[in-house]
């Protein structure tokens, strides 16, 4: 059975501001694909450039007969938290009308977005 091809959206893309000394703007890197990156004047432009770079990276690797790595993370881990925090998270998730997993994933995504 052939391995399913990873989609661009499956790869983690890290976006960070560039210093004025480096020309300003934003840099988006794809950690799972060495050397794969994009840039732009805005975070959104850098993400779009990185998405295009993923397709180009795949095409170049295939043309050279090299293996294309898939996304590194499986998207799952277990985290123990104090019972009081668990209860608070469950309460807030229920109030928002989402599952606990969906709520925590959203909180983490928002936190990473602010950090990078």
The mean pLDDT of 7-13, rounded to a whole number, is 77
DSSP 28: E
Q: Is residue 96 over pLDDT 60?
A: yes
Confidence of residue 5 (pLDDT cuts 50, 70, 90): low
**Residue with structure tokens 């890290």?**
14
Query: Rounded to the nearest 5°, which phi and psi values hold at 91?
Result: -60, -50
Whole-number pLDDT of residue 83? 93
Whole-number pLDDT of residue 105? 84
Phi-psi region of 69 (alpha: psi -120 to 50; beta: other; left: phi over 0): beta
3-state secondary structure of 15: strand
The mean pLDDT of 78-93, rounded to a whole number, is 92
Q: What is the pTM of this model?
A: 0.60
Q: Are 49 and 29 in contact (CB under 8 A)?
A: no
Confidence of residue 72 (pLDDT cuts 50, 70, 90): low
Q: Is residue 26 over pLDDT 80?
A: yes
Whole-number pLDDT of residue 89? 93
Q: Is residue 25 over pLDDT 60?
A: yes
Whole-number pLDDT of residue 74? 57
Q: Is residue 86 over pLDDT 90?
A: yes
């Amino acid at each position: 059975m052939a391995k399913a091809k990873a989609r661009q959206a499956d790869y983690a893309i890290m976006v960070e501001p560039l210093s004025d000394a480096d020309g300003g703007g934003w840099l988006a890197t794809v950690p799972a694909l060495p050397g794969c990156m994009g840039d732009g004047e805005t975070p959104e432009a850098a993400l779009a450039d990185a998405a295009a770079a993923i397709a180009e990276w795949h095409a170049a690797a295939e043309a050279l007969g090299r293996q294309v790595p898939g996304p590194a993370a499986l998207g799952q881990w277990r985290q123990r938290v104090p019972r009081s925090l668990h209860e608070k998270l469950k309460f807030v998730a229920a109030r928002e009308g989402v599952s606990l997993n969906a709520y925590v994933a959203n909180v983490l995504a928002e936190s990473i977005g602010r950090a990078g």
